[in-house]
Copies of this chain bind each other. A is one copy, B any other.
Amino acid sequence: MVETLRLFLPEPPTPMSIRALLLALAVQAAPTSDSSVVAATLTARALESRGAYGFLTDLVDHVGSRLSGSEGAEAAVSWAAAQFAALGLEARREAVLVPVWVRGVEEGEVLAGPGRQKQPLALTALGGSPGTPTGGLDAEVIEVASIAELQSRGAAVKGRIVFFNHPMAVADDYGRFGELRNRGPAAAAKLGAAAALVRSLATASIRSPHTGQTRFAEGDVAIPAAAISVEDAQLLHRLLATGPVRVRIVLGCRNLPDAMSSNVVADLRGRERPEEVVLLGAHLDSWDLAVGAQDDGAGVALVLETARLLVGLKQPPRRTVRFVLFMNEENGLRGAKAYALAHGAELAHHVAAMELDSGAGGPVGVSLKAGAGASSLVEPWLSPLVPLGAGVLLTKEASGADLTPLAVAQVALVELVQDHSHYFDVHHSAADTLDKVDPEAFSRASAAVAWLTYALAESPALLPRPPALAAVSPGSTK
């Protein structure tokens, strides 16, 4: 059959035309139904228009970086509201009080040692870090590979710069080593350390430090904390093997008073059961070093493209689809908490939620966090996902940082799992830029999201809610 149809393809066949063909085959193979027509329509429009890539390009080129509390974040709020308005959806700005952290000067160097010239360090402050005294600070470095090792060093940590080293090599290591950045500096501070340097959580490096949030509990001592590039981590490791090493750092970052910002929320009202809400979310804020093309411009674009595609259908789906662009996922989750608070009474009617915060990679499968029987409900929806590369139900449990506060209401979660093999090459670095996004793979992700959202909102049956026990599981590491 493929052989016959190939005659109608332009030569040489492009990956797109092959996929469109496969899709057509898949749809034809399925029983003709309204749903299969909708699946084919959504998919064809997503792949042909590459609308998600268009939204993303517009966001990163016009708004740029958008850390909570910055001018860019407020520009992003206005931009997002305007995008929904252009689709005919009324967008609400829902108030969120956000932390404001600003970067300043950042310098570091390994001081000269016996027979050794000084060397610069490529570093960048971690979000939430206080600055150093003006003029910086210098201290001897102590290297540890874990928080347990840090604690075993006890008094040796006092007055030192703690260097958290680790061998992150693949994307899945992010969860494993993320606590060094999240909790390491605070643990070092408790032992009297002068500062902390964390090897970047990265799977590639061209001397590129990767920022991210580090957490100090309120009232606890906070110390200056920065990420260093993988290359610099390797340098420190080599030098420490030969003797004492002193490092000087200057960080001008600081925490300012909280500021008002917004989540941007828009509803596509359900035609039969408007009170039942399917939430599709992503986060509008990004780190300040780059335009956040993948984290999470891609998610924002997928939400908007889904809105565009669903608005373009002959009729809206049965349930309300609520598009939520959260503020402050990166350094506070304040938007997620504010949403859960503001909509507390409604959460019992949130029948499913899906967050998009895994970049712009092609879709590879679907995962769930729901009650018994959910799989059999979802399995019939997989057929249109097969030609997109995502027609598989994965055993991984669905999650989403901004969805964590919904757990108390036992909202069922769905996750589109995307290829993230190169996501951490640039994640939270200055290189999270548009050029890293493959428009074709991204268009497949957008087709998959649109279809899954539609299926969740249209299916007569509801996803069973996850058991209450699951509510205590911690949110994903960010």
Interface on A for B, CB 8 Å cutoff? 57, 61-65, 71-72, 75, 115-119, 122, 204-208, 230-231, 234-235, 238-239, 290-291, 425-426, 429-431, 433-435
Contact = CB atoms under 8 A, between A and B. Distances in A.
Nearest to A110: B64
Contacts of A63: 117
Contact of A425 (B64, B206, B430): B206
A425 B291 CA distance: 23
Given A72-B117, A117-B71, A122 B61 contact: no
Contacts of A118: 64
A433 B230 CA distance: 11
Contacts of A238: 57, 61, 434
A303 B375 CA distance: 65
A204 B231 CA distance: 16
A426 B206 CA distance: 7
Contacts of A71: 117
Contact of A205 (B57, B116, B431, B434): B431
A433 B237 CA distance: 14
A264 B123 CA distance: 35
A228 to B, nearest CB: 12
A44 to B, nearest CB: 27
23 contacts: A61-B238, A61-B239, A62-B115, A62-B117, A64-B117, A64-B118, A64-B119, A65-B119, A71-B117, A72-B117, A75-B117, A119-B291, A204-B206, A206-B206, A206-B425, A206-B426, A206-B429, A207-B208, A207-B290, A207-B429, A207-B430, A207-B431, A234-B434
Contact of A231 (B62, B119, B431): B431
Contacts of A206: 204-208, 425-426, 429-431
A61 B116 contact: yes
A93 to B, nearest CB: 19
A163 to B, nearest CB: 16
Nearest to A204: B206
A433 B229 CA distance: 11
A273 to B, nearest CB: 38
Contacts of A115: 62
A435 B231 contact: yes
Contacts of A65: 119
Contacts of A57: 238
Contacts of A290: 207
Contacts of A231: 431, 433, 435
A366 to B, nearest CB: 31
Contacts of A205: 206, 431
Given A206-B208, A206-B426, 7 more contacts: A61-B238, A65-B119, A206-B431, A207-B290, A208-B208, A234-B434, A238-B434
A368 B431 CA distance: 41
A395 to B, nearest CB: 32
Contact of A61 (B61, B207, B235, B433): B235
A204 B431 CA distance: 11
Contacts of A239: 61
A206 B206 CA distance: 6
B117 A235 contact: no
A435 B117 CA distance: 19
Nearest to A430: B207
B235 A433 contact: yes
A433 B235 CA distance: 9
A54 to B, nearest CB: 12
Nearest to A70: B117
Nearest to A230: B435
A428 to B, nearest CB: 12
A143 to B, nearest CB: 16
A125 B230 CA distance: 24
Interface centre among A204, A239, A430 (most CB of B within 10 A): A430
A62 B430 contact: no
A116 to B, nearest CB: 5
A211 to B, nearest CB: 13
A205 B426 CA distance: 10
Contacts of A435: 230-231, 234
Contacts of A426: 206
